[in-house]
Amino acid sequence: MDRFRIAGGTRLQGTVRISGAKNSALPAMAAALLSPEPVHLKNIPRVRDIITMGRLLAHMSVRVETPDLPPTDLTIQAEKISDAEAPYELVRTMRASILTLGPLVGRLGHARVSLPGGCAIGARPVDLHLKALEQMGAEISTEHGYVAARVPAGGRLPGGQVIFEKITVTGTENILMAAVLADGETRIENAALEPEVIDLIELLVKMGARIEGGGTSSLRVQGVQKLCGATHSIIPDRIEAGTFLVAGAITGGAVEVAECLPQHLVSLIAKLRETGVNIEQPNDHTLRVCGSRKLIAADVRTEEYPGFPTDMQAQFMALATQADGASVITETIFENRFLHASEMMRMGASISIDGRKAIVRGPTRLQGSSVIASDLRASASLVLAALVAQGMSYVDRVYHIDRGYERIEEKLSRLGAHIERVS
């Protein structure tokens, strides 16, 4: 099992190019199930979850091609779908497999998808997805760890009024993909506003879907008979960009984050500036974090977009260990997303957890240690902590980080970090 060996203490310098967003590429790949024609996706990140989604689609006899050049392009064609089922052995390695449910029901009128189960950060239920499909006229049953959805009278989903009692990103994406081929109109209230949802809407519209209200929490979808193929470039990964901004800040370096979209990072940039981080925006696709000014404690509360992203909470906690004062971090989205805190405490951080709140007191000199990653963003935060710790650190179970970061050790090495992957 791979792990990273990191010698802390180097100030990062240089330019890093941001990859495509995993959380936009995954629904985009699932959306290809909606058409018999080829969908060409560009700027796909080369991360493990993408490979898993490709395997899942291939299991359904969907053609998935990654041309040799460029390796970040992907062509998917669901001319025929042999098996409208997402099996447990694939779903258990990637919860986002639930994103095949909506398009399969939309296109075929039925689907059987393994329930994803929980993960380290929480129970991760999909009840809101299923309730919304029922509101659209689907019949839902759960048996033997699978959810089966079907249109009772056969044919296509009627569509209907969906009100999400809680904002859900993949729930919104699933229902959008079920609605675009429905037999009537679907209105979705309290829809998620994340940029990845907007990116999916753009792809669906390119495929011929009729969707109004993109960018707002009220969406209206007129079902159409058929969707055609399309070509679409995936948006840059705002969480990867945010992670590298923190890497520059925590090491007091000068890092240029290129090929990103600063408008997707407004709340993070504001919070980093409040913490005393120097951030400049030389153009619409670049951010620069520079200088090693003294960091000051700031409170953070994670919220749905455009609030502070929960996927940046762990990374911010690492930075807070170096800030002067007490930072109160409140995690409002997931019930168990502080697993990285105990590992940081082993490195010398001063953190106390009280339910959904973590109080981080700094600055503390972190010592290089052996730590274990528990989930994707926790592993990123432990790498950040190791970059500023004194001495050598080992971060175990880096398969978590490989799920959502493309060759992070190579990108960090190019910025001067002493990091290598050892097995």
Q: Does 128 bind ligand EPZ (CB under 6 A)?
A: yes
If the CB atoms of residues 29 and 297 are measured against ligand EPZ, the closer one turns out to be: 29
Minimum CB distance to ligand EPZ, residue 355 (Å) = 14
Among 107, 112, 129, 400, interactor with ligand EPZ by CB under 6 A:
129
Minimum CB distance to ligand EPZ, residue 197 (Å) = 9
Three-state secondary structure call for residue 1: coil
β-bridge partners, 60: none
Three-state secondary structure call for residue 145: coil
Q: Does 334 bind ligand EPZ (CB under 6 A)?
A: yes
Q: Does 25 bind ligand EPZ (CB under 6 A)?
A: no
If the CB atoms of residues 39 and 167 are measured against ligand EPZ, the closer one turns out to be: 167
Tell me, rounded to whole angstroms, the distance of Cα 254 from its chain centroid.
Answer: 26
Distance linking the first and last C-alpha atoms of the chain:
6
Q: Does 404 bind ligand EPZ (CB under 6 A)?
A: yes
Q: Does 166 bind ligand EPZ (CB under 6 A)?
A: yes
In the region spanning residues 284 to 303, those forming contacts with ligand EPZ, defined by CB under 6 A, are: none
**What is the side-by-side strand order in the sheet with 110-114?**
85-86, 110-114, 146-150, 139-143
Number of C-alpha atoms within 13 angstroms, CB side, residue 73? 10
Candidates 136-144, 165-173, 277-285, 414-422: pick the segment binding ligand EPZ (CB under 6 A): 165-173
Active site residue 260: no
If the CB atoms of residues 17 and 131 are measured against ligand EPZ, the closer one turns out to be: 131
Phi-psi region at 137: left, alpha or beta (left = phi > 0; alpha = psi -120 to 50): left
Q: Does 273 bind ligand EPZ (CB under 6 A)?
A: no
Among 54, 109, 160, 171, interactor with ligand EPZ by CB under 6 A:
171
Measure the CA–CA gap between 218 and 313, rounded to whole angstroms. 27
Q: Does 122 bind ligand EPZ (CB under 6 A)?
A: yes
Among 209, 247, 333, 395, interactor with ligand EPZ by CB under 6 A:
333
Measure the CA–CA gap between 297 and 246, rounded to whole angstroms. 14
Three-state secondary structure call for residue 302: strand
β-bridge partners, 146: 114, 143
In the region spanning residues 26 to 45, those forming contacts with ligand EPZ, defined by CB under 6 A, are: 26
If the CB atoms of residues 167 and 295 are measured against ligand EPZ, the closer one turns out to be: 167
If the CB atoms of residues 87 and 122 are measured against ligand EPZ, the closer one turns out to be: 122
Candidates 106-114, 117-125, 145-153, 262-270: pick the segment binding ligand EPZ (CB under 6 A): 117-125
If the CB atoms of residues 240 and 256 are measured against ligand EPZ, the closer one turns out to be: 240
Minimum CB distance to ligand EPZ, residue 235 (Å) = 13
Q: Does 124 bind ligand EPZ (CB under 6 A)?
A: yes
If the CB atoms of residues 391 and 399 are measured against ligand EPZ, the closer one turns out to be: 399
Both tokens of 55, joined, read 């395997």
The full DSSP string for 136-199 is TT-EEEEETTEEEEE-TTSSS----EEE-SS--HHHHHHHHHHHTTSSSEEEEES----HHHHH
Query: How many of the other CB atoms lie within 10 Å of CB of 395?
Result: 27
Measure the CA–CA gap between 84 and 101, rounded to whole angstroms. 9
Minimum CB distance to ligand EPZ, residue 10 (Å) = 26
Measure the CA–CA gap between 329 and 352, rounded to whole angstroms. 10
Both tokens of 299, joined, read 């409170």
Among 377, 383, 406, 409, interactor with ligand EPZ by CB under 6 A:
377
Q: Which of 119, 228, 260, 290 is catalytic?
A: 119
Report the amino acid identity of residue 33. Answer: L
Candidates 32-40, 65-73, 162-170, 222-230: pick the segment binding ligand EPZ (CB under 6 A): 162-170
Cα dist from 342 to 237, 335, 349, 383, whole Å: 27, 16, 9, 14
Tell me, rounded to whole angstroms, the distance of Cα 151 from its chain centroid.
Answer: 30
Measure the CA–CA gap between 93 and 102, rounded to whole angstroms. 19
Q: Give residues in contact with ligand EPZ (CB under 6 A).
A: 23, 26, 96, 122, 124-129, 166, 168-171, 310-311, 333-334, 376-377, 404
Point out the residues that are catalytic: 119
